[in-house]
Amino acid sequence: MDTKTEAEAGAAATVKVAVVYYSSTGTVHALARAAVEGAEKAGADVRLRKVAETAPPEAVGARPEWARHLEETADVAEAGHEDLEWADAVLFGTPTRFGNPAVQLRAFIDTTGPLWFQGRLADKVYSAFTASNTAHGGQESTILALSNTFYHWGGVIVPPGYTDPVQFRSGNPYGASSVAAGGLPDEVALEAARFQARRVAETAAFLKAGRAAA
């Protein structure tokens, strides 16, 4: 369902989108890559950034798939405050940990106080996606927990909702999600992530164009 006008596509081309994520074994990384594809399809300039791994080496080494994924994504740049300042829209991705974002992503967010205090995170578009080990394993509450941060920042929260046919197959209006116990995300989850990022980029384009015209 791609109904953008040429004017909308032109506006989206000026939008800057950051996809900031944490992934231990690759599930959320796959969703993040799909989100990059979706935002790029909307014409946005996109940065893919991972947050720093804070788990001790012995914990990572105890799980071969964790250590392998860390090595495979060594070339992905780590997120910094400049990425948040640069972006018009930010999508955050995280596995769920007892219904909350992973501590690695939380640790990065908790360093952004100086930006928040200066109002440099306000009026941007924010959205989130996640994965859990089991179905209904805290996916919605994890996204809602991230939304609490976006409220404090003064952000504009853009969920996917049920605004595209893929959403009726993915079933999560809060944000793209996947069940990690089933392996890497299936095509429905990946398409949901692409759609969510495209919607975020297009909404950010409308806001940016409106501000420029005001």
- Structural domain of 28: 6-213
In a domain, 1, yes or no: no
pTM here is 0.92
Element (H, E) at 49: strand 45-50
In a domain, 13, yes or no: yes
Q: What is the CATH number of the domain that holds 168?
A: 3.40.50.360
Please state, in angstroms and rounded to a whole number, the distance separating the CA atoms of residues 38 and 167.
15
Residue 149, beta-bridge partner list? none
What is the count of structural domains for the chain?
1
10 Å Cβ neighbour count for 178?
Answer: 28
In a domain, 105, yes or no: yes
pLDDT in tens, the chain (214 residues): 454 555 444 544 489 999 999 999 999 999 999 999 999 999 999 999 999 999 999 898 889 999 999 999 999 999 999 999 999 999 999 999 999 999 999 999 999 999 999 999 999 999 999 999 998 899 999 999 999 999 999 999 999 999 999 999 999 999 999 998 878 999 999 999 999 999 999 999 999 999 888 8
Tokens encoding 127: 């959205």
Task: Give the pLDDT score at 6.
Answer: 53
In a domain, 48, yes or no: yes
- Cα–Cα distances in Å, from 89 out to 45, 79, 106? 10, 14, 18
One-letter amino acid of 51: V
In a domain, 186, yes or no: yes
